[in-house]
Structure 1
Amino acid sequence: MTTLRTWIIFRWRQMLACALVVSALATTGSMVGWSVEVARMAEDPELPFNISTSQQRWLVSSVGIASVVSTLATGWLMEALGPCRLLSLLLLPQGLAWITMAVSYSLPWIFVGRIITGAIGIMLTTIIQPLVAELCQPDVRGMLSALPEMAISLGLLGAYVFARFLVWQAGTLLCGVLVFPSLCGVLFVPESPYWLIKKGRDKEATRSLMRLRAPEHDIEAEVAAIRDGIALQALEQGSFAQQFRSMGQSVNYRPVILLSVLVVLKEVGGAMFIFMYSAYFFLAAGVVWDPFTCTVLVGVTRLLFTFVSALVIDKVGRRPLLVFSSLTCGSAMFVIGAIVKIGSPSIAWIPLVAVLIFVASFGLGVGPVPWILVGEMLPTPVRSLAASICTCLFAFFTFLLSELMPQIIEVSGLDDAAFAFGAFQIFLALTTWLFVPETRGRTLEDLQTAFSGAALRPFRKSREGYVQAYGSTFSEAGPSQSKKA
């Protein structure tokens, strides 16, 4: 049985590479969490300008509308430059935009910095999740694919803590300064072997895999497997225009539609509203504790349970974890709606507990699993284009919810909004149970043609989660019984 110690010994190179890549997503979490600083700015008596309620909403939501535009170009840039190179090129302006927000006392420049950090932050999500899936082997892909959500949770918590204990300029400056260590780390990560082989650069792909795999690993077999998978899909050139043409094939558009639905349901289930308007949410729910202290509890809970998700996802599987967590999130939202409707001060603590249960379940499955599936299930022929589509939808609904939800809650009430959030979470669980296959342990090559048949859910009648990787160093029996020469 493969143990964590075996993973560390034989997979440490790809673990380190993924950790360096994923660290860049902390700035995406900071971008979401920085929304609580808007309330601090509105209370700052030394601020040389006034911020209206409408401007506060736009400071929160502008990241979404900027991201809708930027994600449309991300797929093309990934194909042209390579995901690792593009990642390193984006981090420098990201850090500078944060610093601009911190040192400027001009509202227009703060808006400019906010738009740039939002646009690049969502672009990083588009790049990193598929990249992590391409850098690592199937037996650790689930654990490593949960790292992006952990990095986002860590950045979110950092922004909440900064807002609780520091003035908004200092917290914003720290968000920018912390981008530069990630930039330095990404420079040492080899380029995606999949992208290199699609570009016909097999020798560079071999060198990339040699830096990512253990010395005992059969590099040539993995290169051949990747090359055969790409050739099977007629992607030797890998142009972005070909991806548009390939999207018309059912084997490609079916998983893209399914993943798009998962991403949308994940967002309309209430998570983004809680994370971007957490202080407002606790005030509207009647929680008597300091709302910024409650916000820090939200950040800690999400980080903790995202870490738990990384530990168990390769044992439990993606599909059952997502079904369980979405059902729990939906139940928590129903409880919040019921307590707010009752409106009794003696039970005002229950919404806080319910929110923490929601956030814990979100960190366990609803948060990381859809993005893990994006990295695993997107077909290679349309991977860059499809990642852009999924992230563009994510950005659009982030903007829509962050801009409109405060007004909707003022009209309909938090209780009805919570009931609607809960219903969407239940629908997410039902969609997952009916249509989402289990991807645990399957190679990316194995998943390329998963939706080519008539079955609504691939692998439904097969033994799931035990497919050996192409060029795998070890078989299912373990390293002691199958070590390659």
Structure 2
Amino acid sequence: MKIECKNNGEEKGEASTIRQVSVGLVVTSSTLMVGMNVAWPCILPKMQSDPEGIHITEQDISWLVSLSGIVGMFTSLVTGPLMEHMGPRRLLLLILLPVFFLWLLLAFAPNLSLIYVSRVGLSASMYAISTFIPLYVAELSQAEIRGAIASLTIITSCVGMLTTYATAHFLHWKLATALCAAPFLPLFLLTLFVPESPYWLVRKGMKDEARSSLLKLLGPRADVDRALRDIPNVRKDQVSLLGQIKLLKRKEYGKPVGLVLAIFLLRELSGHNTIFFYSVFIFQRAGVGVDAFLCSVLVGCVRLIFSGVSVAIIDRAGRRACFIGTTVTCFLAEMTSGAFLLCDVTGASWVPVVGVLVYVASYGMGQGSIPWILLGELLPIPVRSVGASIIVFLNCLLLFGVNFVFLMAMNILSVGGILCLFSLSNVVLAVISYVWLPETRGRLLKELENICIENAEDLVVPDHAAERGAYKNEGMEDDVMKTRL
């Protein structure tokens, strides 16, 4: 009888996992937009060389690449409150349909002004998605599989990036741009079947709707009442924008937000977006002796492959170890590439290419995905929307500054000097992560809500996912949790 119950429990668990992964795939597919928008500047050299195309100067290129940061600053500030007002599902639907038409406008714009308009609209959509999708995914997933599902945002982003790199290499720039529109109409239709976040519904006092959402996510045989009890109640005064800002002054809320903010800003200073935005220009200026467009396609392939590795290991190895390890590797790769370019070693032009690919591989395995997972896990529930908006706003501000001055800085310092400078940020990021970053693997969002950052030992929490799984089928999870707490 025990074995039958256990097998029945395993079957229910598998069905629930399949449901959550299916929903997660639909939601995270929206980040195709992120990868496509990041990689699209690789099309600009072809636009410049097209005799029948629109005249684009180097200053236009700087603006078309970096204005996404300006747009992101304003978009991120309104996305959090907007998500809190209308719900993440409806906000996602509101974004996806215009994206389809904006890509077509960018492909067939008759003048430079409309190229700027479409680029602004796409950048706004990209940063809105980047701000709330990690929160939405975290609230749709159980703790045991939350890391893997959240990592799918990076996988789909990499697919979008690789697709854009490849089409830019093989196709005319107008066709390559137009193809970016293809996924978003069917994705809009699929999102109609995705449930709303049960956490948002509970915050709005809609318990019956939250129960229905959990039934869609977990299945009719799941203990929905227990899952509903795991969702913390948030007072109405904490849901308001002013209430969340006031809570940030308290240490248990302000410090987790500050830690995630530091991780995002230092990662931006390491130059990851610059490498992806300006990949073709970097390889052309570095004189590596390999076709620059082919190198960009390799960058996309490597990032996709190792982001897939990240999905496989993130819920086993843990966030903390993966992030620190990949950050150190990113430092070594950037420093090695930069040093070889500065020294101009004869016959070693392949070393910077390999170094950049190692950087991209390490970035894909942890540094690229984990900060976004932490955005959904570490931000306390009462300040999630405002905290995410602040973090993405300041990240966009820094992104704009770094990308806007990059071409000028590359002319002064050379590609090698820039890479060496970028690598130093990874050193600081690794130290901060080692001292203060907690392990969030296997913890319920309710458990993570009041993490207070005091020192590294207090923050490295044990993994209780296995403990919960061992008792899940016998209905003893509540007793285990009460005993531990």
TM-score by length of 1: 0.93
Q: Give the corresponding residue for 2:268.
A: 267
Q: Give the corresponding residue for 1:208.
A: 213
C-alpha displacement at 1:467, in angstroms? 5.1
Pick closer, same or farther for the CA change 1:483–1:173 going to 2, 3 Å. Answer: farther
Please tell me whether the aligned partners of residues 67 and 395 of structure 1 are also in contact (alpha carbons under 8 angstroms). Answer: yes
Q: Give the corresponding residue for 1:220.
A: 225
C-alpha displacement at 1:316, in angstroms? 0.2
User: Unaligned regions of 5+ residues in structure 1, if any?
Assistant: 469-473
- Give 2:30's match in structure 1, choosing from 24, 36, 41: 24
Pick closer, same or farther for the CA change 1:230–1:326 going to 2, 3 Å. Answer: same
Pick closer, same or farther for the CA change 1:7–1:168 going to 2, 3 Å. Answer: farther
Residue 71 (structure 1) aligned with residue 76 (structure 2):
yes
Pick closer, same or farther for the CA change 1:41–1:194 going to 2, 3 Å. Answer: same
C-alpha displacement at 1:422, in angstroms? 1.0
Q: Deviations over 1:382-408 (max 9, x none)?
A: 100111111112222221121111111
Q: Distance in 2 between matches of 1:283 and 1:360?
A: 21
Please tell me whether the aligned partners of residues 96 and 176 of structure 1 are also in contact (alpha carbons under 8 angstroms). Answer: yes
Q: Distance in 2 between matches of 1:457 and 1:344?
A: 42
Q: Give the corresponding residue for 1:465.
A: 463
Q: Distance in 2 between matches of 1:6 and 1:302?
A: 34
Counterpart mapping for 1:70-149 below 5 A: 70-149=75-154
Residue 477 (structure 1) aligned with residue 470 (structure 2):
yes
Pick closer, same or farther for the CA change 1:122–1:460 going to 2, 3 Å. Answer: closer
Q: One-letter code of the match for 1:312? A: I
Pick closer, same or farther for the CA change 1:288–1:102 going to 2, 3 Å. Answer: same
C-alpha displacement at 1:247, in angstroms? 1.4
Pick closer, same or farther for the CA change 1:15–1:167 going to 2, 3 Å. Answer: same
Please tell me whether the aligned partners of residues 437 and 460 of structure 2 are also in contact (alpha carbons under 8 angstroms). Answer: no
SS in 2 for 1:289: coil
Mean Cα deviation higher: 84-93 or 394-403: 394-403
Q: Give the corresponding residue for 1:39.
A: 45
Q: One-letter code of the match for 2:70? A: I
Q: Give the corresponding residue for 1:365.
A: 366
User: Unaligned regions of 5+ residues in structure 2, if any?
Assistant: 1-5, 478-485
Please tell me whether the aligned partners of residues 436 and 457 of structure 1 are also in contact (alpha carbons under 8 angstroms). Answer: yes
C-alpha displacement at 1:235, in angstroms? 4.4
Q: Give the corresponding residue for 1:335.
A: 336
Pick closer, same or farther for the CA change 1:54–1:176 going to 2, 3 Å. Answer: same
Mean Cα deviation higher: 393-402 or 306-315: 393-402
Please tell me whether the aligned partners of residues 199 and 236 of structure 1 are also in contact (alpha carbons under 8 angstroms). Answer: no
Q: Distance in 1 between matches of 2:11 and 2:291?
A: 43
Q: Give the corresponding residue for 2:483.
A: none
Q: Distance in 1 between matches of 2:208 and 2:11?
A: 31
Q: Give the corresponding residue for 1:374.
A: 375
Q: Give the corresponding residue for 2:454.
A: 455
Please tell me whether the aligned partners of residues 144 and 465 of structure 2 are also in contact (alpha carbons under 8 angstroms). Answer: no
Q: Give the corresponding residue for 1:354.
A: 355
Q: Distance in 2 between matches of 1:158 and 1:204?
A: 38
Q: One-letter code of the match for 2:30? A: A
Residue 325 (structure 1) aligned with residue 330 (structure 2):
no
Q: Distance in 2 between matches of 1:304 and 1:481?
A: 39
Q: Percent identity?
A: 34
SS in 1 for 2:439: coil
Q: Distance in 2 between matches of 1:478 and 1:367?
A: 34
Please tell me whether the aligned partners of residues 198 and 236 of structure 1 are also in contact (alpha carbons under 8 angstroms). Answer: no
Please tell me whether the aligned partners of residues 19 and 217 of structure 2 are also in contact (alpha carbons under 8 angstroms). Answer: yes
Please tell me whether the aligned partners of residues 434 and 456 of structure 2 are also in contact (alpha carbons under 8 angstroms). Answer: no
SS in 1 for 2:145: helix
Q: Give the corresponding residue for 2:408.
A: 407
SS in 1 for 2:117: helix
Mean Cα deviation higher: 24-33 or 214-223: 214-223
- Give 1:9's match in structure 2, choosing from 10, 15, 30: 15
Q: Distance in 2 between matches of 1:135 and 1:179?
A: 21
C-alpha displacement at 1:243, in angstroms? 1.0
RMSD: 2.1
SS in 2 for 1:477: helix
C-alpha displacement at 1:476, in angstroms? 3.0
- Give 1:230's match in structure 2, choosing from 221, 233, 244: 233
Q: Deviations over 1:275-315 (max 9, x none)?
A: 00001111222211100000000000000100100000100
Q: Distance in 2 between matches of 1:103 and 1:461?
A: 52
Please tell me whether the aligned partners of residues 48 and 56 of structure 2 are also in contact (alpha carbons under 8 angstroms). Answer: yes
Q: Give the corresponding residue for 1:471.
A: none
Pick closer, same or farther for the CA change 1:211–1:6 going to 2, 3 Å. Answer: closer
C-alpha displacement at 1:461, in angstroms? 6.5
Residue 176 (structure 1) aligned with residue 175 (structure 2):
no
C-alpha displacement at 1:7, in angstroms? 6.2
Please tell me whether the aligned partners of residues 36 and 163 of structure 1 are also in contact (alpha carbons under 8 angstroms). Answer: yes
**Count of aligned residue pairs for this structure pair:** 471
